[in-house]
């Protein structure tokens, strides 16, 4: 079957990774409505499209599962294929981020679980849960929940550190995914590297702007 080959597994990794990147962009774009105090309206509008929401979740769960599974398989295959005696030589041709993609991935997945418990299931602090605290229009007060959460320095710090892991993972992952599609010749490789770096930095700053704005008091 297609994923049984190394090349096939890398293609699955590239495709699912790009699906997840698209979600990351869509997610932060929607969350940016908080800067216009329209987050509650955005959430109500989004959940007014249940087919879109649940269909998207199904695609994301599948993409994440395949991405994690084949990422682990490829990591184990690479480890078993490299004799220990030649580890230093191989490292000369690999970046620190590239060698530790599995660990940044584990860190991101752990954070994802916390993020879902925090803002989706809303069980970490019931006193500010949006589902049980409506705004003046009777909508779940997601804006209040997010602001009060990030006013805690420790929570904001957890998010910022997790975003650093995401930055590193995207930096290497975006480059690798395009190289998997064969776009890695001498002319395109520098462009791919710069694109991966620029995109990951932009996404990091975009996401980090929300907790940082709240901590600094410009969004409250």
Domain ranges in the chain are 2-215
> The whole model's pTM is what?
0.88
Q: Which residue has the tokens 């078993």?
A: 80
Q: What is the pLDDT of residues 28-82, one digit of tens each?
A: 999 999 999 999 999 999 999 999 999 999 999 999 999 999 999 888 887 776 5
Instruction: Note every long-range contact of 206-213, with CB atoms under 8 Å and residues 24 or more positions apart, other chains counting.
Output: 206/28, 206/32, 207/28, 207/31, 207/159, 207/163, 207/166, 208/159, 208/160, 208/163, 210/31, 210/32, 210/34, 210/35, 210/146, 210/150, 211/150, 211/155, 211/156, 211/159, 211/160, 212/156, 212/160, 213/35
Dihedral (Cα; 165, 166, 169, 172), 10-degree rounding:
-120
Residue 36 Cα distances to 30, 41, 42, 67, angstroms: 11, 11, 11, 34
pLDDT at 89: 40
**Separation CA 217–CA 220 (nearest Å):** 6
Q: Which tokens hold the place of 149?
A: 């959460």
pLDDT at 77: 81
pLDDT at 85: 45
| SS3 track for 69-126 | HHHHHHHHHHHHHCCHHHHHHHHCCCCHHHHCHHHHHHHHHHHHHHHHHHHHCCCCCH
What is the residue-averaged pLDDT of the chain? 89
- The pLDDT-based confidence of 165 (bands split at 50, 70, 90) is very high
- The pLDDT-based confidence of 175 (bands split at 50, 70, 90) is confident
């Amino acid at each position: 079957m297609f994923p049984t080959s190394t090349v096939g597994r890398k293609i699955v990794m590239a495709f699912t990774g790009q699906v997840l990147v698209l979600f990351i962009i869509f997610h932060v774009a929607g969350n940016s409505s908080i800067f216009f105090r329209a987050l509650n309206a955005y959430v109500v509008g989004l959940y007014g499209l249940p087919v879109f929401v649940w269909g998207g979740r199904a695609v994301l769960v599948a993409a994440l599962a395949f991405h994690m599974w084949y990422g682990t398989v490829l990591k184990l295959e690479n480890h078993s294929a490299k004799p220990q005696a030649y580890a230093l030589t191989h490292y000369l041709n690999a970046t620190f981020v590239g060698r530790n993609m599995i660990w940044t991935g584990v860190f991101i997945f752990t954070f994802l679980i916390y993020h879902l418990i925090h803002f989706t299931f809303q069980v970490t602090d019931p006193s500010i849960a949006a589902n049980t605290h409506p705004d003046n229009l009777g909508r779940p007060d997601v804006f209040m929940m997010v602001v009060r959460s990030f006013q805690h320095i420790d929570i904001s710090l957890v998010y910022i550190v997790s975003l650093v892991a995401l930055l590193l993972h995207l930096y290497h992952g975006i480059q690798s995914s395009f190289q998997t599609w064969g776009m890695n010749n001498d002319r395109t490789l520098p462009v791919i590297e710069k694109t991966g770096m620029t995109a990951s930095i932009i996404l990091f700053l975009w996401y980090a702007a929300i907790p940082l704005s709240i901590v600094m008091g410009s969004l409250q």
